[in-house]
Structure 1
């Protein structure tokens, strides 16, 4: 017979497990995979015994953190695949990977290296993540939005580099611009802005074809007026929130020296 107190205990256990996973992800990002379990327990606000009850070994904790991260990314890719055009979905997914992984370098490295792990959960999550990435890549290539000859391993290596770039850059918006410029190298016509000539009856004019600064979707820029930077209100709002968050971070860090970072 299940009592109310039993249900409450299970709910507490689930909350504690989630706290430990979040704390472990932060600790691994800041200190590398050598972060001590005592530090993880402190960050989670639980005792070391609680950590060991949920994760008897450090390897089990690694697996759980990586599995949750990869499952979240794979679900994001599946949603994009269902809702967006192939090229937009692919580049949006890459930005998701970089944006969510730049503080979790070890996760990127595990996937890129295809490390052998003894437990099946992480193996299944890596396979799902790679399957989603491959499907998005091939769909974008069929749509003409990504260069032929690019494979999933190339994309994984590129995203690992982009995540490192974003993590190392002191200005997140500027780092994201560099990431987008790098990812644009996967497009048939590399570069954020291309030029296309057309005739309008009075001669040849030039029309700029740019990319949305948030999602990378193609934009047709008018020959006059203010430059178009975003494909819609959603991307504009996301960019604004990032700028505001970056400004808050800069104000909080004002006067502080650079923090050391463990590769």
Structure 2
């Protein structure tokens, strides 16, 4: 009975941690880094004491949220390597990085500005991210889809610039178009001339608001990010 109880306690702790990280990510994105831990606890549906037991300081919580962000990107990159052609996988990954990092902008800012980062856990996630990015880049270069004079550091800097550019634009569709133009500069001249598809076949942007649509393993690719955009587009069609 004790082992069953302990197993249940651990499962509850894992669920609470996942809820807190999700709530923290949303709160930091919406309200900035000054949001109190009590507000994060409220969003997660747990007590403030539970948050402090898992994350004694806000800095510890920030690190955990950013580690989760990087691990999600690593998983996305690995999935793309297994499913798509090299250039398609590389550019799809960069779009994923830009979109998801834009949503984590406040967290990215504090990591970049604080000289004490990265901590050991975050350093390991950064290393895994770099490994996946480098593998995707080199595969795309060997396939002739990306310029040979581009290195991983160049890609990181260009991607960070795209995140800042997207965050500065209120018109999301226009922002994504600018990101595409910048990333197209990484292609080989032959690939640009052939006008290869920028996005992979399973990923795109909402036809109404321009927001990124999630990667879908099966089924028909979505055209809209949700019911609101779908209904708005339908009203425009009917009005026309």
- 2:16 and 2:120 map into 1 onto residues whose CA distance is 23
Counterpart in 2 of 1:143?
143
Q: Deviations over 1:161-202 (max 9, x none)?
A: 2223333433434432322222111112399x63xxxxxxxx
The separation in 2 between residues aligned to 1:167 and 1:28, in whole angstroms, is 15
Runs of 4+ aligned residues of structure 1 deviating over 6 Å after TM superposition are 110-114, 233-236
Q: TM-score, normalised by structure 2?
A: 0.76
Counterpart-to-counterpart distance in 2, 1:238 and 1:168: 28
1:224 alignment counterpart: none
After superposition, what is the alpha-carbon deviation per residue over 1:42-61, rounded to whole angstroms, capped at 9, x for unaligned? Answer: 22122211100111122211
More strand by share: 1
Please, which runs of 5 or more residues in structure 1 have no aligned partner?
Answer: 195-208, 217-232, 252-263
Q: TM-score, normalised by structure 1?
A: 0.70
Which blocks of at least 5 consecutive residues in structure 2 are unaligned? 202-215, 234-240
More helix by share: 2
Contact 1:92-1:215 at 8 Å conserved across structures? yes
Q: 1:81 to 1:124 in 2, by over 3 A?
A: same
1:215 partnered with 2:196: no
1:184 lines up with 2:184 in the alignment? yes
Residue 2 of structure 2 aligns with which residue? 2
What is the deviation of 1:239? 5.7
Which residue is equivalent to 1:69? 69
Distance 1:37 1:72, change over 3 A: same
- Which has the larger displacement, 56-65 or 108-117? 108-117
Q: Would the alpha carbon gap of residues 88 and 157 (structure 1) be closer, same or farther in structure 2, given more than 3 Å must change?
A: same
Matched, 1:241 2:224: yes
8 Å CA contact retained: 2:20, 2:41: yes
SS at match of 1:186: coil
Distance 1:37 1:146 in 2: 44
Change (3 A) 1:109 1:129: farther
* Count of residue pairs brought into register by the alignment: 220
CA distance in 1, matches of 2:88, 2:123: 28
Measured in 2, the distance between the counterparts of 1:249 and 1:61 equals: 38
Cα offset, 1:35, TM superposition: 2.6
Partners of 1:170 and 1:245 in 2: how far apart? 21
Cα distance between partner residues in 1 of 2:200 and 2:180: 9
Residues 102, 163 of structure 2: 8 Å contact kept: yes
Does 2:87 correspond to 1:105? no
Q: Secondary structure at the match of 2:170?
A: coil
Per-residue Cα deviation, 1:129-179 (whole angstroms, up to 9, x for no partner) = 011111211222222211222222221122222223333433434432322
- Aligned equivalents of 1:134 and 1:246: distance in 2? 38
The alpha carbon displacement at 1:214 in A equals: 3.0
For residues 217 and 80 of structure 2, what CA distance do their matches in structure 1 show? 15
C-alpha contact (below 8 Å) 2:81/2:136 kept by paired residues = yes
Pair 1:93-2:93 in alignment: yes
